[in-house]
Amino acid sequence: MSAQYSEVFILVCELAEALGATPLNKHPGCWETSIGDWHFAINAHGTTAKTADGADLPPVHLYVSFKGMPCMVLTPVGGIALGQSGEAEADLIPVLKEALAKARTK
């Protein structure tokens, strides 16, 4: 049985690598970045860590907000996204792919 991995989670990890932020556990607390109205916090530690806005994020979780509002909490293999039928993920994936392409050309 093979697991289906979260494309958003993978893209944020690839973006972190392209930006030179890896390994992610070298950062105290969560590693955070923004792309336009989207904000990301990923906890690569073995214990709960706080995001910059004070939210407790469990280990190996990604917190995504849009225009300051919580939007997703993901793990590599799933999570919770607000919206109908993955709208937020569908909107976010092209944004992440574009940011990743730009980061890789720097």
Distance CA 63, CA 52 (A): 11
Looking at the predicted structure, is the pLDDT value of residue 105 above 60?
yes
65 bridge partner residues: 39, 70
**What pLDDT, on a 0 to 100 scale, did the predictor assign at position 1?**
42
Per-residue confidence at 88, pLDDT binned at 50, 70, 90?
confident
**How many C-beta atoms surround the C-beta of residue 69 within 10 A?**
9
**What pLDDT, on a 0 to 100 scale, did the predictor assign at position 86?**
65
- DSSP, res 59: T
Residues 51-82 have pLDDT tens digits of 998 999 999 999 999 999 888 999 999 888 87
Looking at the predicted structure, is the pLDDT value of residue 2 above 90?
no
Query: What is the sign of the dihedral through the CA atoms of 81, 83, 84 and 90?
Result: negative
Burial category of 28 from C-beta neighbours within 10 Å (exposed 0-12, middle 13-18, buried 19 and up)? exposed
Average pLDDT over residues 28-43: 96
Closest CA to 34 of 56, 6, 63: 63
